[in-house]
Amino acid sequence: MRRDLGRRIYGYLVSAAFALFLFSPILWTLSTSLKQPTEMFQWPPVIVGEPSAQHYTAIIADKDFSSALINSIVVSCSTIILTMALSIPAAFGISHLQKTAMRRLLTLVLALRAAPAMIYIIPYFLFFRQVHLVDTKIALIIVNTMFAVPLAIWYLSAFFDQVPREIEEAAMIDGASTLQTMTLISIPIAKSGIMATAILIFIGSWNEFLFALT
């Protein structure tokens, strides 16, 4: 009994130390953001100094930052919506193909994403200049979506593969159409994978600067 308790305590201590190691950069960043300017570059470093919110106040008061933050939120959320609207039906269809055809199509989809983003800058710029969308959020949403769709299809098709075919077949026997089977059966079962994919798309869109600064 004591041995089991000791192992449990040891496991908790190791887990806590590992978690502290993983979160230490975030904690250090938070601590630095609350320091006075004179304390930020002090040596030896001050872990907990006199808390100050002046950096957050300056950022909130900056109109350019507020505008940039809103633009990032709008672009990222719009990219998620558009990407999911295109990727979910495509991934559902691919997952129901034969294995050979599915693998070939998935390889083609992923190959479209393998090319470096740099080679697309000039073609996209010329295209958006022709349609008068240069330096607009719509253009950025389209670009982000075009890069996100191949990866989203790749991820989602794997999640749809995990949906039991027996459940889908039972729904179709009961009279459900393919669209109803996808929306009422497959999507709810694969919702955790869909949410994970949406988070990855949001992060990728949020961190995209190459086209945003072009």
152 vs 37, 84, 126, 147, 200, CA distance in Å? 43, 8, 26, 9, 9
Helices 54-61, 63-95: crossing angle, 10 deg rounding: 80
DSSP label of 116: -
Residue 149 corresponds to which tokens in the numbers above? 């769709």
Give the domain ranges of the chain: 2-56, 62-206
Q: How far is it, in rounded angstroms, from Cα 185 to Cα 166?
A: 11
Q: Where are the alpha helices (DSSP H) in 63-98?
A: 63-95
Which residue ranges in the chain fall short of pLDDT 50? Answer: none
- What pTM does this model have? 0.73
User: What does the DSSP assignment read for 9-34?
Assistant: HHHHHHHHHHHHHHHHHHHHHHHHHT
Q: How far is it, in rounded angstroms, from Cα 203 to Cα 196?
A: 11
Scan for tokens 């039991």, then name that residue: 164
**SS3 call for 58:** helix
pLDDT in the model for residue 126: 84
pLDDT in the model for residue 195: 94
pLDDT in the model for residue 81: 94
pLDDT in the model for residue 101: 66
Helices 99-114, 63-95: crossing angle, 10 deg rounding: 160
pLDDT in the model for residue 2: 60
pLDDT in the model for residue 207: 84
Query: Is 3.40.50.2020 the CATH classification of the domain at 62-206?
Result: no
35 vs 7, 20, 25, 38, CA distance in Å? 40, 21, 15, 8
